């Protein structure tokens, strides 16, 4: 029996393991309860890079969720107190929601979602406190509640942000400049309280002190978004995109503003650009998936179903020979001939070039099979789609977005630097359908 390069773990070691890659389907990831409940806004307008710090872990819990993404009520019995608390939470009124969530947690000790939102609310509340020791103790309290939610089975992204808080509730320095650090915290606290004018003034002060502060720039846009001044919000998100085109947050927030302005085609484009900026971040894909559901379209995922084994007993299966060819291609990549032909490609890890080479060999066989209609029709539809992807010139973007493991993902930044439009076109022309309104 031959067994080679099959059944591998392809998921990049990032937030949502396996997003549109091999071992966890994107649909399974995106259709999870947690993904559907992902809040869209951070209190300081920051996501992505800052979610590794306590401030954004807490801040990520307060948000303004556009109506088209809010959690629908169950068709059965609706608890009015629970519904009201969740309405306050989803509209960003965290401080009003806290006492209601605390009571609900007592009344419903096995409701994981209540505990998750209570934990997020408490973590957010901590950032409004002036006393550093009080902030620290409040974060510890949030951690305790978050652990209860986790024990009840909750594994949402927002909960994981709270669980990432330091055990002792301590806070790192947000800037090497003490003045910037204090200004950022002050602005975030004002945002949490709903004092958007002072929050914006605070973020503008940060930009006076540090003109290249991406987080503050996005946050100014966020204050306008909360006030539904969508044109001004978009202008600030656009500035952030221009300054940091390879960070995804401003693209997503800009897409939200465009969608709420009725510019759905433009929103689609910005959601795509967010994925181009960071395809290995759960948020970029989950928000794109939400957009697709809202517009009654389905993202075109192509997930190759690698067989775990190949043996003489199943060689009559037309799907087997292409995969055997793929395995030969992977093995041949390590030969001296291949090393001389591609001397500048790393050999100590799985690379974009190696995977593309193996898939190209596989596609050679698939194209021969296409001449036999019976054999072609018996092929897995994902293999048929693979031929179309290659013929359209999108094989490398496909590998980087659909087949990337943690090693292949290391090639993404360099590829994007010289092929950004090719990645965008793959998403635009193959993955993300245009809505009927856009088609017209």
pLDDT of res. 15: 39
Task: Say what the pLDDT of residue 276 is.
Answer: 98
- 93 in Cβ contact with 194 (< 8 Å): yes
Q: Is residue 21 part of a domain?
A: no
Q: Average pLDDT, stretch 167-188?
A: 87
Q: What's the rounded Cα separation, in Å, for the pair 287 and 252?
A: 8
Q: Looking at the structure, do residues 186 and 159 belong to the same domain, yes or no?
A: no
How would residue 214 be classed by pLDDT, with cut points 50, 70 and 90? very high
* pLDDT for res 406: 92
Residue 190, domain member (yes or no): yes
Mean pLDDT of the chain: 80
Residues 316 and 268 in one domain: no
- pLDDT for position 336: 64
Domain check: are 107 and 217 in the same one?
no
Residue 380 lies in a domain: yes
Give the CA distances from residue 315 to residues 2, 180, 376, in Å, rounded to whole numbers and listed in that order: 11, 65, 15
User: What's the pLDDT at 56?
Assistant: 44
Kindly state the average pLDDT of the residues 40-44: 37
- Cα separation, 376 vs 389, whole angstroms: 16
pLDDT at 69: 41
DSSP per-residue letters across 333-391: TTSHHHHHHSTTS-SSS--HHHHHHHHHHHHHHHHHHTTSHHHHHHS-HHHHHHHHHHH
Q: Give the domain range for residue 133.
A: 34-163
Rounded CA separation 116/124 (Å) = 12
pLDDT > 70? residue 253: yes
List the beta bridge partners of residue 310: 2
pLDDT digits (tens, 9 = 90+) for 215-229: 999 999 999 999 999
Q: Which residues of 233-250 are buried (b: 16+ CB within 10 A; e: fewer)?
A: bbebbbbbbeebeebbbb
Tokens of 436: 């009927």
Does any domain span residue 18? no
The pLDDT of residue 151: 96
Domain presence at residue 173:
no
Instruction: Tell me the C-alpha distance between 65 and 55, whole Å.
Output: 20
In a domain? residue 387: yes
Please name which of 279, 407, 393 lies closest in space to residue 354, comparing C-alpha atoms: 407
pLDDT band at residue 307, thresholds of 50, 70 and 90? low
> Between these two residues, 62 and 147, which has the higher pLDDT value?
147
pLDDT for the residue numbered 45: 33
pLDDT range class, residue 61, cuts 50, 70, 90 = low
- Poorest-pLDDT segment among 51-65, 268-282, 283-297, 374-388: 51-65
* Same domain as 253, residue 194: yes
Domain end call among 265, 294, 323: 294
Domain co-membership, 230 together with 278: yes
If pLDDT is split at 50, 70 and 90, which confidence band does 428 have? very high
Say if residue 153 is in the same domain as residue 202.
Answer: no
Q: Are residues 348 and 278 in the same domain?
A: no
Burial class (CB in 10 A: 0-12, 13-18, 19+), 273: buried
Cα dihedral 240, 244, 247, 251, rounded to 10, equals 40
* Domain edge (last residue) among 267, 294, 321: 294
In the chain, the number of structural domains is: 3
Write down the pLDDT at residue 313.
57
pLDDT at 21 over 50: no
Residues 186 and 289 in one domain: yes
Residues 149 and 38 reside in one and the same domain: yes
Q: Which residues pair with 2 in a beta bridge?
A: 310
The verdict on 290 and 320 lying in the same domain is: no
pLDDT of residue 309: 52
Mean pLDDT computed over 38-58: 36
Higher pLDDT, 67 or 124: 124
Mind listing the pLDDT tens digit for each residue in 323-358? 989 988 888 887 766 676 677 777 778 999 999 999
* pLDDT for the residue numbered 60: 47
What are the b/e assignments for 383-393, b being 16+ CB within 10 Å? bebbbebbeee
Residue 77 confidence class, pLDDT cut points 50, 70, 90: low
**Are residues 334 and 241 part of one domain?**
no
Is residue 97, in this structure, part of any structural domain at all?
Answer: yes
Rounded CA separation 11/405 (Å)? 5
Determine the Cα–Cα distance for residues 286 and 271; give it in Å rounded to an integer: 10
Q: Tell whether 219 is covered by a domain.
A: yes
pTM of this structure: 0.77
SS3 content of the chain, % helix, strand, coil (to 5): 65, 0, 35
Over 50: is that where the pLDDT of 35 sits? no
pLDDT band at 92 (very low <50, low <70, confident <90, very high): confident
For residue 439, what pLDDT band results from cuts at 50, 70 and 90? low
Q: How many CB atoms lie within 10 A of CB 272?
A: 23
Higher pLDDT, 219 or 127: 219
C-alpha to C-alpha distance for 359 and 381, rounded to whole angstroms: 15
* Contact predicate 54/42, CB 8 Å: no
Burial class (CB in 10 A: 0-12, 13-18, 19+), 8: middle
Q: Are residues 276 and 208 part of one domain?
A: yes
């Amino acid at each position: 029996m031959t067994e080679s390069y099959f059944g591998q773990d392809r998921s990049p070691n990032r937030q949502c393991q396996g997003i549109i890659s091999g071992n966890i389907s994107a649909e399974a990831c995106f259709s999870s309860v947690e993904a559907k409940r992902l809040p869209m806004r951070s209190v300081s307008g920051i996501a992505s890079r800052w979610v590794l710090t306590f401030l954004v872990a807490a801040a990520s819990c307060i948000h303004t969720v556009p109506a088209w993404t809010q959690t629908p009520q169950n068709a059965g019995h609706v608890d009015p107190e629970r519904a009201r608390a969740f309405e306050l939470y989803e509209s960003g009124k965290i401080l009003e929601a806290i006492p209601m969530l605390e009571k609900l947690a007592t009344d419903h000790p096995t409701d994981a979602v209540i505990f998750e939102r209570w934990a997020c609310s408490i973590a957010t509340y901590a950032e409004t406190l002036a006393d550093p020791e009080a902030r620290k103790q409040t974060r510890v309290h949030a951690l305790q509640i978050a652990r209860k939610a986790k024990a009840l089975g909750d594994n949402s992204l927002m909960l994981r942000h709270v669980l990432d808080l330091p055990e002792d509730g301590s806070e790192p320095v947000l800037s090497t400049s003490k003045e910037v650090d204090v200004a950022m915290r002050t602005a975030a606290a004002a945002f949490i309280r709903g004092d958007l004018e002072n929050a914006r003034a605070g973020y503008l002060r940060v930009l006076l002190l540090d003109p290249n502060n991406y987080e503050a720039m996005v946050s100014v846009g966020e204050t306008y978004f909360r006030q539904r001044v969508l044109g001004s919000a978009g202008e600030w998100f656009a500035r952030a995109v221009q300054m940091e085109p390879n960070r995804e947050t401003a693209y997503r927030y800009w897409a939200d503003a465009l969608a709420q302005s009725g510019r759905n085609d433009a929103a689609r484009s910005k959601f795509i650009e967010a994925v181009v900026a960071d395809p290995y971040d759960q948020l970029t894909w989950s928000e794109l998936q939400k957009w697709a559901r809202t517009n009654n379209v389905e993202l075109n995922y192509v997930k190759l179903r690698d067989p775990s084994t190949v043996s003489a007993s199943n060689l009559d299966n037309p799907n087997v020979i292409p995969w055997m060819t793929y395995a030969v291609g992977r093995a041949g990549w390590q030969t001296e001939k291949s090393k001389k032909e591609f001397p500048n490609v790393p050999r100590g890890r799985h690379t974009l070039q190696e995977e593309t080479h193996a898939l190209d060999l596989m596609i050679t066989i698939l194209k021969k099979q296409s001449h036999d209609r019976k054999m072609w029709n018996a092929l897995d539809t994902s293999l048929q789609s693979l031929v179309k992807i290659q013929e359209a010139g999108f094989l490398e973007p496909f590998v980087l977005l659909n087949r990337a493991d943690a090693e292949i993902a290391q090639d993404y930044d360099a590829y994007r630097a010289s092929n950004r439009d090719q990645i965008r076109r793959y998403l635009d022309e193959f993955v993300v359908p245009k809505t009927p309104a856009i088609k017209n």
